[in-house]
Structure 1
Amino acid sequence: MMAVQDWPLPVSGFFGLLGIEEATFFLSGESTNSVTAGGEVIVHRRGTRLWQGEVVLGKSEPEAIAAQDTLIESLLEPGASFMVYDRRQPAPQDPAYPAGINWSAQSVTIQSLTPGNRELSLQGLPPNFTLRRGQKIGFQYLASPVRFAIHRIMNATVSADGTGATAPFEVTPFLRPGVVVGASVILDRPQLRAKLLSFKPGPGRSSLTQGGSFTWQQTLGGGV
Protein backbone atom coordinates (compact mmCIF):
# COMPACT_ATOMS: atom_id res chain seq x y z
CA MET A 1 0.00 0.00 0.00
CA MET A 2 1.38 3.40 -1.01
CA ALA A 3 2.02 5.81 1.86
CA VAL A 4 0.22 9.15 1.96
CA GLN A 5 2.53 11.85 0.63
CA ASP A 6 4.25 14.09 3.18
CA TRP A 7 5.09 17.72 2.47
CA PRO A 8 7.38 19.07 1.30
CA LEU A 9 8.00 16.74 -1.63
CA PRO A 10 11.78 16.12 -1.81
CA VAL A 11 13.69 17.01 -4.98
CA SER A 12 13.89 13.29 -5.77
CA GLY A 13 10.09 13.02 -5.53
CA PHE A 14 9.14 15.98 -7.73
CA PHE A 15 11.49 18.69 -9.00
CA GLY A 16 14.21 16.25 -10.03
CA LEU A 17 11.71 14.16 -12.03
CA LEU A 18 10.52 16.98 -14.29
CA GLY A 19 11.50 17.37 -17.93
CA ILE A 20 12.50 21.01 -17.52
CA GLU A 21 13.15 23.08 -20.64
CA GLU A 22 13.53 26.52 -19.04
CA ALA A 23 13.60 27.77 -15.45
CA THR A 24 14.06 31.01 -13.53
CA PHE A 25 15.03 31.55 -9.89
CA PHE A 26 14.99 35.11 -8.56
CA LEU A 27 14.34 37.26 -5.50
CA SER A 28 11.01 39.08 -5.31
CA GLY A 29 10.75 42.81 -4.65
CA GLU A 30 7.74 42.83 -2.28
CA SER A 31 7.64 46.64 -2.10
CA THR A 32 5.69 49.64 -3.36
CA ASN A 33 6.85 53.16 -4.19
CA SER A 34 5.46 56.61 -3.44
CA VAL A 35 6.69 60.09 -4.38
CA THR A 36 6.75 63.04 -1.98
CA ALA A 37 5.82 66.60 -2.95
CA GLY A 38 9.53 67.33 -3.11
CA GLY A 39 10.11 64.59 -5.68
CA GLU A 40 11.71 62.04 -3.35
CA VAL A 41 10.92 58.40 -4.15
CA ILE A 42 10.14 56.39 -0.99
CA VAL A 43 10.16 52.59 -1.06
CA HIS A 44 7.70 50.84 1.28
CA ARG A 45 8.43 47.21 2.19
CA ARG A 46 5.23 45.10 1.94
CA GLY A 47 6.60 41.89 3.38
CA THR A 48 9.61 39.61 3.56
CA ARG A 49 11.56 39.09 0.34
CA LEU A 50 11.10 35.55 -0.97
CA TRP A 51 12.60 33.57 -3.83
CA GLN A 52 10.33 32.72 -6.73
CA GLY A 53 10.50 31.36 -10.25
CA GLU A 54 8.84 29.88 -13.31
CA VAL A 55 9.40 26.43 -14.81
CA VAL A 56 8.68 25.64 -18.47
CA LEU A 57 8.42 21.93 -19.23
CA GLY A 58 9.43 20.23 -22.46
CA LYS A 59 7.23 18.06 -24.68
CA SER A 60 6.99 14.31 -24.16
CA GLU A 61 4.76 11.27 -24.64
CA PRO A 62 1.18 11.83 -23.40
CA GLU A 63 1.49 9.22 -20.62
CA ALA A 64 4.70 10.81 -19.31
CA ILE A 65 3.07 14.26 -19.33
CA ALA A 66 -0.03 12.87 -17.56
CA ALA A 67 2.17 11.46 -14.77
CA GLN A 68 4.02 14.77 -14.50
CA ASP A 69 0.76 16.77 -14.45
CA THR A 70 -0.58 14.58 -11.64
CA LEU A 71 2.33 15.52 -9.39
CA ILE A 72 2.01 19.20 -10.27
CA GLU A 73 -1.76 19.30 -9.69
CA SER A 74 -1.35 17.62 -6.29
CA LEU A 75 0.77 20.60 -5.24
CA LEU A 76 -2.18 22.96 -5.73
CA GLU A 77 -3.72 21.49 -2.57
CA PRO A 78 -3.75 23.79 0.50
CA GLY A 79 -0.62 23.23 2.57
CA ALA A 80 1.23 21.36 -0.18
CA SER A 81 4.87 22.28 -0.83
CA PHE A 82 8.02 20.97 -2.48
CA MET A 83 11.78 21.44 -2.38
CA VAL A 84 13.44 23.36 -5.22
CA TYR A 85 16.90 24.63 -6.15
CA ASP A 86 18.44 26.83 -8.84
CA ARG A 87 19.30 24.26 -11.49
CA ARG A 88 21.08 26.90 -13.61
CA GLN A 89 23.89 27.37 -11.09
CA PRO A 90 26.40 24.59 -10.33
CA ALA A 91 28.34 24.25 -7.09
CA PRO A 92 31.10 26.86 -6.53
CA GLN A 93 34.54 25.91 -7.78
CA ASP A 94 37.94 27.62 -7.68
CA PRO A 95 40.75 27.43 -10.29
CA ALA A 96 43.11 26.84 -7.37
CA TYR A 97 41.42 23.43 -7.03
CA PRO A 98 41.48 22.08 -10.62
CA ALA A 99 40.17 18.67 -9.55
CA GLY A 100 37.07 20.34 -8.10
CA ILE A 101 35.62 20.27 -4.60
CA ASN A 102 33.47 17.48 -3.20
CA TRP A 103 31.19 19.67 -1.08
CA SER A 104 29.54 16.69 0.61
CA ALA A 105 32.90 16.05 2.29
CA GLN A 106 33.21 19.64 3.57
CA SER A 107 31.73 20.64 6.93
CA VAL A 108 31.02 24.33 6.34
CA THR A 109 29.28 26.25 9.13
CA ILE A 110 28.38 29.83 10.06
CA GLN A 111 31.31 31.19 12.09
CA SER A 112 29.88 34.58 13.08
CA LEU A 113 26.90 36.90 12.56
CA THR A 114 27.29 40.67 12.35
CA PRO A 115 24.69 43.02 13.91
CA GLY A 116 22.39 44.41 11.23
CA ASN A 117 21.43 41.03 9.68
CA ARG A 118 23.40 41.69 6.51
CA GLU A 119 26.73 39.95 7.10
CA LEU A 120 28.06 36.60 8.26
CA SER A 121 31.31 34.66 8.08
CA LEU A 122 31.95 30.99 7.34
CA GLN A 123 34.38 28.34 8.51
CA GLY A 124 35.18 24.89 7.14
CA LEU A 125 35.85 25.95 3.54
CA PRO A 126 38.84 24.47 1.69
CA PRO A 127 41.97 26.49 2.61
CA ASN A 128 42.28 29.71 0.55
CA PHE A 129 39.10 28.91 -1.41
CA THR A 130 37.44 31.94 -3.05
CA LEU A 131 33.69 32.44 -3.30
CA ARG A 132 32.29 35.03 -5.71
CA ARG A 133 29.41 37.45 -6.06
CA GLY A 134 26.16 35.78 -7.10
CA GLN A 135 26.99 32.36 -5.72
CA LYS A 136 24.44 30.98 -3.27
CA ILE A 137 24.70 29.55 0.22
CA GLY A 138 21.91 27.82 2.11
CA PHE A 139 21.14 26.67 5.64
CA GLN A 140 18.29 25.75 7.95
CA TYR A 141 17.09 27.72 10.97
CA LEU A 142 14.38 27.60 13.65
CA ALA A 143 12.07 24.59 14.14
CA SER A 144 8.39 23.60 13.96
CA PRO A 145 8.62 24.24 11.10
CA VAL A 146 12.25 24.28 10.00
CA ARG A 147 12.94 27.19 7.65
CA PHE A 148 15.20 26.83 4.61
CA ALA A 149 17.23 29.92 3.69
CA ILE A 150 19.13 30.72 0.50
CA HIS A 151 21.29 33.84 0.23
CA ARG A 152 23.37 35.31 -2.58
CA ILE A 153 26.87 36.60 -1.91
CA MET A 154 27.13 40.36 -2.49
CA ASN A 155 30.92 40.83 -2.21
CA ALA A 156 32.94 40.58 -5.44
CA THR A 157 35.10 37.90 -3.80
CA VAL A 158 35.14 36.15 -0.41
CA SER A 159 38.42 34.36 0.27
CA ALA A 160 38.99 31.83 3.02
CA ASP A 161 42.25 31.92 4.93
CA GLY A 162 44.58 28.98 5.43
CA THR A 163 42.23 27.46 8.00
CA GLY A 164 39.15 27.73 5.75
CA ALA A 165 37.59 30.70 7.60
CA THR A 166 36.35 33.91 5.96
CA ALA A 167 35.97 37.49 7.11
CA PRO A 168 32.36 38.75 7.40
CA PHE A 169 30.70 39.30 4.01
CA GLU A 170 27.35 40.68 2.86
CA VAL A 171 24.47 38.57 1.56
CA THR A 172 21.03 39.18 0.09
CA PRO A 173 18.28 38.93 1.20
CA PHE A 174 18.90 40.07 4.78
CA LEU A 175 19.36 37.33 7.37
CA ARG A 176 16.16 36.54 9.26
CA PRO A 177 15.74 36.18 13.03
CA GLY A 178 16.57 32.67 14.21
CA VAL A 179 19.79 32.13 12.26
CA VAL A 180 22.51 30.93 14.65
CA VAL A 181 26.28 30.53 14.69
CA GLY A 182 27.29 26.93 14.02
CA ALA A 183 24.50 26.20 11.52
CA SER A 184 25.57 23.87 8.70
CA VAL A 185 25.94 25.64 5.34
CA ILE A 186 25.17 24.10 1.94
CA LEU A 187 27.05 25.41 -1.11
CA ASP A 188 26.20 22.70 -3.66
CA ARG A 189 22.77 23.67 -5.00
CA PRO A 190 21.09 24.66 -1.72
CA GLN A 191 17.36 23.94 -1.56
CA LEU A 192 14.35 25.80 -0.22
CA ARG A 193 10.71 25.00 0.44
CA ALA A 194 8.30 26.32 -2.20
CA LYS A 195 4.57 26.67 -2.83
CA LEU A 196 3.06 26.19 -6.28
CA LEU A 197 1.28 29.40 -7.32
CA SER A 198 -0.14 28.54 -10.74
CA PHE A 199 -0.11 25.78 -13.35
CA LYS A 200 -0.80 26.03 -17.08
CA PRO A 201 -1.07 22.58 -18.74
CA GLY A 202 0.46 22.14 -22.17
CA PRO A 203 -1.57 21.44 -25.33
CA GLY A 204 -1.37 18.13 -27.19
CA ARG A 205 0.25 18.05 -30.63
CA SER A 206 -0.02 14.83 -32.70
CA SER A 207 1.83 12.11 -30.77
CA LEU A 208 3.49 14.48 -28.29
CA THR A 209 2.12 16.76 -25.57
CA GLN A 210 3.69 20.03 -24.48
CA GLY A 211 4.65 19.99 -20.82
CA GLY A 212 3.10 23.31 -19.81
CA SER A 213 4.49 25.64 -17.15
CA PHE A 214 4.09 26.59 -13.50
CA THR A 215 5.15 29.35 -11.12
CA TRP A 216 6.31 28.96 -7.54
CA GLN A 217 7.30 31.04 -4.52
CA GLN A 218 9.33 30.27 -1.43
CA THR A 219 7.31 29.59 1.72
CA LEU A 220 8.50 29.83 5.32
CA GLY A 221 5.41 28.07 6.64
CA GLY A 222 5.05 24.43 7.55
CA GLY A 223 1.88 23.47 5.70
CA VAL A 224 -0.08 20.37 6.66
Structure 2
Amino acid sequence: MSIGSEPFELLADFPGWTTGFDLQARQEQSRTAGGVTYVKDLGPPLWTLKAQSKVLTPNVLDHWRARLKVLEGGLYTFLGYPLSRVYPISYPKGSWPTGGSFDGVSAALLSINANRKAVRLEDLPAGFKFVIGDYLAIGVDLHQVVEATTADGSGRTPEFEVRPHIWPGVAAGASAVKVYRPACVMALVPGSVSTDASLSGWGSIAFQGIEIR
Protein backbone atom coordinates (compact mmCIF):
# COMPACT_ATOMS: atom_id res chain seq x y z
CA MET A 1 0.00 0.00 0.00
CA SER A 2 1.40 3.38 -1.02
CA ILE A 3 1.42 6.20 1.54
CA GLY A 4 0.24 8.59 -1.18
CA SER A 5 0.66 12.34 -1.12
CA GLU A 6 -0.99 15.42 0.35
CA PRO A 7 -3.78 15.87 0.95
CA PHE A 8 -3.91 12.26 2.14
CA GLU A 9 -7.03 10.13 1.65
CA LEU A 10 -7.67 9.00 5.21
CA LEU A 11 -11.42 8.48 5.40
CA ALA A 12 -12.20 6.23 2.42
CA ASP A 13 -11.47 3.05 4.41
CA PHE A 14 -11.78 4.45 7.93
CA PRO A 15 -13.44 1.79 10.14
CA GLY A 16 -15.86 4.16 11.80
CA TRP A 17 -17.88 7.30 11.23
CA THR A 18 -17.63 11.06 11.11
CA THR A 19 -19.69 11.78 14.21
CA GLY A 20 -19.43 15.52 13.69
CA PHE A 21 -19.07 17.63 10.55
CA ASP A 22 -20.09 21.28 10.56
CA LEU A 23 -19.01 24.85 10.00
CA GLN A 24 -17.16 26.76 12.70
CA ALA A 25 -17.96 30.46 12.53
CA ARG A 26 -15.12 32.96 12.91
CA GLN A 27 -17.00 35.74 14.65
CA GLU A 28 -16.78 37.97 17.68
CA GLN A 29 -19.67 39.45 19.63
CA SER A 30 -20.00 42.62 21.65
CA ARG A 31 -22.94 43.79 23.72
CA THR A 32 -23.96 47.31 24.64
CA ALA A 33 -25.15 48.43 28.07
CA GLY A 34 -28.66 48.42 26.63
CA GLY A 35 -28.40 44.74 25.72
CA VAL A 36 -27.96 45.15 21.96
CA THR A 37 -25.66 42.47 20.53
CA TYR A 38 -23.35 43.15 17.60
CA VAL A 39 -21.72 40.33 15.63
CA LYS A 40 -18.62 40.86 13.50
CA ASP A 41 -17.36 38.36 10.95
CA LEU A 42 -13.60 37.84 11.17
CA GLY A 43 -13.57 35.63 8.10
CA PRO A 44 -15.53 32.90 6.32
CA PRO A 45 -16.41 29.86 8.45
CA LEU A 46 -14.27 26.72 8.32
CA TRP A 47 -15.36 23.09 8.19
CA THR A 48 -14.65 20.96 11.26
CA LEU A 49 -14.72 17.18 11.62
CA LYS A 50 -14.94 14.63 14.43
CA ALA A 51 -14.20 10.99 13.60
CA GLN A 52 -14.68 7.93 15.79
CA SER A 53 -13.82 4.34 14.93
CA LYS A 54 -15.50 1.14 16.00
CA VAL A 55 -13.73 -1.02 18.57
CA LEU A 56 -10.71 -2.41 16.74
CA THR A 57 -8.55 -5.49 17.14
CA PRO A 58 -4.95 -4.88 18.29
CA ASN A 59 -3.59 -5.32 14.76
CA VAL A 60 -6.09 -2.94 13.16
CA LEU A 61 -5.61 -0.44 15.98
CA ASP A 62 -1.86 -0.37 15.34
CA HIS A 63 -2.51 0.01 11.61
CA TRP A 64 -4.55 3.16 12.23
CA ARG A 65 -2.11 4.53 14.77
CA ALA A 66 0.49 4.35 12.00
CA ARG A 67 -1.85 5.88 9.39
CA LEU A 68 -2.40 8.91 11.62
CA LYS A 69 1.33 9.27 12.28
CA VAL A 70 1.81 10.03 8.58
CA LEU A 71 0.13 13.39 9.24
CA GLU A 72 2.82 14.26 11.84
CA GLY A 73 0.35 16.06 14.06
CA GLY A 74 -1.00 19.03 12.15
CA LEU A 75 1.93 19.37 9.73
CA TYR A 76 0.34 17.45 6.85
CA THR A 77 -3.16 17.53 5.46
CA PHE A 78 -5.94 15.09 4.57
CA LEU A 79 -9.22 15.20 2.67
CA GLY A 80 -12.11 15.90 5.03
CA TYR A 81 -15.74 15.12 4.29
CA PRO A 82 -18.78 13.67 6.06
CA LEU A 83 -18.95 9.92 5.54
CA SER A 84 -22.74 10.22 5.34
CA ARG A 85 -22.41 12.17 2.08
CA VAL A 86 -19.94 10.28 -0.07
CA TYR A 87 -22.78 10.31 -2.62
CA PRO A 88 -25.68 12.77 -2.97
CA ILE A 89 -28.81 11.88 -1.02
CA SER A 90 -30.81 11.07 -4.17
CA TYR A 91 -28.10 8.82 -5.67
CA PRO A 92 -26.86 6.28 -3.13
CA LYS A 93 -23.79 4.38 -4.35
CA GLY A 94 -23.66 6.48 -7.51
CA SER A 95 -26.99 5.52 -9.03
CA TRP A 96 -26.75 8.53 -11.39
CA PRO A 97 -29.69 9.35 -13.72
CA THR A 98 -27.52 8.58 -16.76
CA GLY A 99 -25.68 5.60 -15.31
CA GLY A 100 -21.94 5.21 -15.72
CA SER A 101 -21.58 8.00 -18.28
CA PHE A 102 -21.33 10.46 -15.36
CA ASP A 103 -18.40 10.10 -12.97
CA GLY A 104 -19.56 12.48 -10.23
CA VAL A 105 -16.40 14.61 -10.35
CA SER A 106 -16.60 16.50 -13.65
CA ALA A 107 -19.50 18.95 -13.37
CA ALA A 108 -18.70 22.63 -13.88
CA LEU A 109 -19.47 25.97 -12.27
CA LEU A 110 -21.57 27.90 -14.80
CA SER A 111 -22.11 31.16 -12.89
CA ILE A 112 -21.93 32.81 -9.47
CA ASN A 113 -24.50 35.32 -8.26
CA ALA A 114 -23.14 38.67 -7.07
CA ASN A 115 -24.14 37.69 -3.52
CA ARG A 116 -21.53 34.86 -3.68
CA LYS A 117 -23.96 32.34 -2.19
CA ALA A 118 -26.05 31.31 -5.21
CA VAL A 119 -24.57 29.34 -8.11
CA ARG A 120 -25.51 27.59 -11.33
CA LEU A 121 -23.86 24.34 -12.38
CA GLU A 122 -23.56 22.60 -15.74
CA ASP A 123 -22.31 19.30 -17.19
CA LEU A 124 -24.59 17.32 -14.88
CA PRO A 125 -26.85 14.46 -15.98
CA ALA A 126 -30.23 15.65 -17.27
CA GLY A 127 -32.68 15.82 -14.39
CA PHE A 128 -29.97 15.63 -11.72
CA LYS A 129 -31.45 16.57 -8.34
CA PHE A 130 -29.80 18.40 -5.48
CA VAL A 131 -31.70 18.21 -2.21
CA ILE A 132 -31.14 20.21 0.95
CA GLY A 133 -28.26 18.61 2.84
CA ASP A 134 -26.24 17.50 -0.19
CA TYR A 135 -22.62 18.60 -0.55
CA LEU A 136 -20.55 19.70 -3.53
CA ALA A 137 -16.93 20.74 -3.90
CA ILE A 138 -15.68 23.45 -6.23
CA GLY A 139 -12.08 22.33 -6.47
CA VAL A 140 -11.35 21.73 -2.78
CA ASP A 141 -13.84 24.33 -1.54
CA LEU A 142 -16.62 22.37 0.16
CA HIS A 143 -20.21 23.66 0.22
CA GLN A 144 -23.52 22.32 1.50
CA VAL A 145 -26.72 22.70 -0.50
CA VAL A 146 -29.36 24.75 1.34
CA GLU A 147 -31.85 25.07 -1.54
CA ALA A 148 -33.12 22.16 -3.63
CA THR A 149 -32.83 22.30 -7.41
CA THR A 150 -33.01 20.09 -10.52
CA ALA A 151 -30.87 20.24 -13.65
CA ASP A 152 -32.66 20.75 -16.95
CA GLY A 153 -32.42 18.52 -20.01
CA SER A 154 -29.00 19.94 -20.91
CA GLY A 155 -27.57 19.32 -17.44
CA ARG A 156 -27.74 22.93 -16.25
CA THR A 157 -29.27 23.97 -12.94
CA PRO A 158 -31.15 27.14 -12.06
CA GLU A 159 -29.50 29.27 -9.40
CA PHE A 160 -29.52 27.66 -5.96
CA GLU A 161 -27.89 28.59 -2.67
CA VAL A 162 -25.04 26.90 -0.85
CA ARG A 163 -23.11 27.57 2.36
CA PRO A 164 -20.54 28.75 3.09
CA HIS A 165 -20.46 31.56 0.54
CA ILE A 166 -18.28 31.02 -2.51
CA TRP A 167 -14.73 31.87 -1.53
CA PRO A 168 -13.09 35.05 -2.86
CA GLY A 169 -11.17 34.50 -6.06
CA VAL A 170 -13.30 31.58 -7.28
CA ALA A 171 -14.61 32.21 -10.80
CA ALA A 172 -17.03 30.34 -13.04
CA GLY A 173 -15.33 27.60 -15.04
CA ALA A 174 -12.12 27.69 -13.02
CA SER A 175 -12.43 24.32 -11.25
CA ALA A 176 -14.31 21.06 -11.67
CA VAL A 177 -17.30 20.52 -9.39
CA LYS A 178 -17.52 17.22 -7.53
CA VAL A 179 -20.67 15.64 -6.16
CA TYR A 180 -18.99 12.28 -5.49
CA ARG A 181 -16.91 12.36 -2.31
CA PRO A 182 -16.75 16.17 -2.22
CA ALA A 183 -14.07 17.24 0.24
CA CYS A 184 -12.02 20.08 1.63
CA VAL A 185 -8.42 20.05 2.85
CA MET A 186 -8.03 19.56 6.60
CA ALA A 187 -5.36 19.19 9.25
CA LEU A 188 -5.58 17.41 12.58
CA VAL A 189 -6.60 19.52 15.57
CA PRO A 190 -3.59 19.40 17.94
CA GLY A 191 -4.17 17.10 20.89
CA SER A 192 -7.36 15.60 19.47
CA VAL A 193 -6.04 12.15 18.54
CA SER A 194 -6.99 9.32 20.90
CA THR A 195 -5.85 5.73 20.31
CA ASP A 196 -6.34 4.14 23.74
CA ALA A 197 -6.78 0.39 24.13
CA SER A 198 -8.22 -1.70 26.94
CA LEU A 199 -6.23 -4.40 28.75
CA SER A 200 -7.44 -6.83 26.08
CA GLY A 201 -5.53 -4.85 23.44
CA TRP A 202 -8.73 -3.86 21.66
CA GLY A 203 -9.35 -0.13 21.33
CA SER A 204 -10.62 2.69 19.17
CA ILE A 205 -9.39 5.70 17.24
CA ALA A 206 -10.81 9.21 17.54
CA PHE A 207 -9.57 12.48 16.06
CA GLN A 208 -10.71 15.92 14.99
CA GLY A 209 -9.88 17.99 11.93
CA ILE A 210 -10.30 21.58 10.80
CA GLU A 211 -10.24 23.05 7.31
CA ILE A 212 -6.94 24.53 6.16
CA ARG A 213 -6.92 27.38 3.67
Does structure 2 retain, via aligned residues, the 8 Å contact 1:49–1:173? yes
Deviation at 1:23, TM superposition (A): 2.6
What is the match of residue 217 of structure 1? 210
Which residue identity is paired with 1:74? Answer: V
> 1:100: how far off?
2.5
SS at match of 1:210: coil
Query: Alpha-carbon deviation of 1:6?
Result: 3.5
Residue in 2 that maps onto 1:201: 195
Inter-partner Cα distance in structure 1 for 2:34 and 2:79: 46
- RMSD (Å), alpha carbons: 2.5
Matched, 1:136 2:135: yes
Say if 1:76 and 1:196, in contact at 8 Å, map to a contact too.
Answer: no
Superposition TM-score, scaled by structure 2 size: 0.84
8 A Cα contact 1:203 1:212, kept in partner:
no
Query: SS of 1:165's equivalent?
Result: coil
Q: Whole-Å Cα distance in 1 between the matches of residues 5 and 85 of structure 2?
A: 28
Instruction: Give the CA deviation at 1:194.
Output: 0.8
Q: Residues 159 and 52 (structure 1 numbering): CA distance in 2 closer, same or farther, change over 3 Å?
A: same
Matches of 2:178 and 2:83, distance apart in 1: 15
Partner of 1:171: 162
Identity of aligned residues (%): 23
In structure 2, the residue matched to 1:144 is: none
Q: Is the 8 A contact 1:93 1:100 kept in 2?
A: no
Q: Which runs of 5+ in 2 are unaligned?
A: none
Aligned counterparts of 2:42 and 2:130: Cα–Cα separation in 1: 32
Match of 1:29 among 9, 25, 30: 25
Report the number of matched residues. Answer: 204
**Mapped partners of 2:108, 2:68: distance in 1:** 34
1:121 paired residue number: 120
